[in-house]
Amino acid sequence: MSHAMTLPSTLSPSSAKAASAGALALSHSSLLSGQLGNIDAYIQAVNRIPMLTPAEERQFATELREHDNLESARRLVLSHLRLVVSIARNYLGYGLPHADLIQEGNIGLMKAVKRFDPEQNVRLVSYAMHWIKAEIHEYILRNWRMVKVATTKAQRKLFFNLRSHKQGLGAFTPDEIEGLAKELNVKREEVAEMETRLSGGDIALEGQVEDGEESYAPIAYLADSHSEPTAVLASRQRDRLQSDGIASALDALDPRSRRIIEARWLKVADDGSGGSTLHELADEFGVSAERIRQIEASAMKKMRGALTEYAA
């Protein structure tokens, strides 16, 4: 994502995930026309946008809610961009670009504006904080690590709580884990597991080539089971059993027994469909279904004997 900031003229390029908020098409503000070259210029620009009075905020929110007034939506969003900047600054410790955090927070702000109800007598700044933080949290969990450290709602809450309590790079002591477990009302095992996830870094599976030489990496120590001698022999034996062995075992059967085995077992699809029933074969040969079952059992016993030499 480019770090050149653009004031939302729509719901931002990432707003596909903003769903119905896409209706909030926003035109450029006269204070923020065009693209801003860097993050500092963007922050200075949004801090110059005047805040709305309670009366103005209520008026614009009512116009948006009742008449889908996009100009009112634009005014509500622009006047609260500084809030997004302020909240995003609190998440810089995760090593993600400030501009990306702000972009995600802006999406959360637009979602909040879309859903804001002025009749609840709550200021937009209070209502929007939840949506802004939720969007930033989701972005951090998607991008902070290649392997996700938190997938459930409870794990996400624990992830951010532990990050705020963790000081430095050292691991928690047993007493600290016990205290955090009580404070956060979770099991100490859950705290220990999440702390392990937080402290474990990402390691490249393949090595980097430096000065013409490739450095050793975990992939160099992974065994290729397909080339392991016993696995190769087992694979060859299995292939021989499935081809030559079965063909030879079928040749040892009389025509009726072979027909029954092929119809019952060798004409079945991978999904389990196909294959003849005992009653269908009984009608074909003019005998009872029980007689077909007996012939089948006898043929299977004979085939197992014929396959013994291939399984050795």
Do 18 and 133 share a domain, yes or no? yes
pLDDT of residue 85: 95
Higher pLDDT, 95 or 283: 283
Averaged confidence pLDDT in the chain: 75
Give the mean pLDDT of 219-235. 63
Q: Mean pLDDT over residues 246-264, rounded?
A: 87
Pair (134, 154) in one structural domain: no
- pLDDT score for 17: 37
When comparing pLDDT for 91 and 62, which is higher?
62
278-307: pLDDT as tens digits: 999 999 999 999 999 999 999 988 888 877
> Has residue 207 got a pLDDT over 60?
no
CATH of the domain at 140: 1.20.120.1810
Are 121 and 232 in a shared domain? no
Domain that holds residue 302: 226-311
pLDDT value of residue 124:
95
Q: Which of 201, 217, 240 represents a domain boundary (last residue)? A: 201
Pair 305, 242 in one domain: yes
3 versus 241: the higher-pLDDT residue is: 241
* Pairwise pLDDT comparison (212 vs 13), residue with the higher score: 212
Residue 124, in any domain of the structure: yes
For residue 206, tell me if it sits in a domain: no
Does any domain span residue 217?
Answer: no
Q: What pLDDT, on a 0 to 100 scale, did the predictor assign at position 303?
A: 85
- State whether 301 and 243 are in the same domain: yes
Please tell me whether residues 178 and 261 are part of one structural domain: no
Q: What is the mean pLDDT of residues 271-284?
A: 83
Determine, yes or no, domain membership for 99: yes
13: pLDDT strictly greater than 60: no
In this structure, the answer to whether residues 178 and 98 fall within a common structural domain is: no
How confident is the model over 263-284, as a mean pLDDT?
Answer: 81
- Give residue-wise pLDDT tens across range 229-246: 666 666 666 665 566 777
Q: Structural domain tally of the chain? A: 3
Q: What is the CATH number of the domain that holds 269?
A: 1.10.10.10
In a domain, 220, yes or no: no
State whether 19 and 128 are in the same domain.
yes
Instruction: Look at residue 215 and tell me if it is in a domain.
Output: no
| Residue 27 and residue 127 in one domain | yes
104 & 45 share domain:
yes
The answer, yes or no, to whether residue 21 has pLDDT greater than 90, is: no
Domain boundary among 76, 110, 144: 144
Which among 111, 127, 144 is the end of a domain? 144
Same domain for 140 and 171, yes or no, is no
Tell me, yes or no, whether 12 lies in a domain.
yes
The verdict on 276 and 155 lying in the same domain is no
For residue 216, being part of any structural domain is answered with: no
Phi and psi angles of residue 166, each rounded to the nearest 5 degrees, phi first: -75, 125
The predicted structure's pLDDT at residue 223: 60
What is the rounded average pLDDT of the residues 159-188? 72
pLDDT in tens, 104-138: 999 999 999 999 999 998 999 999 999 999 999 88
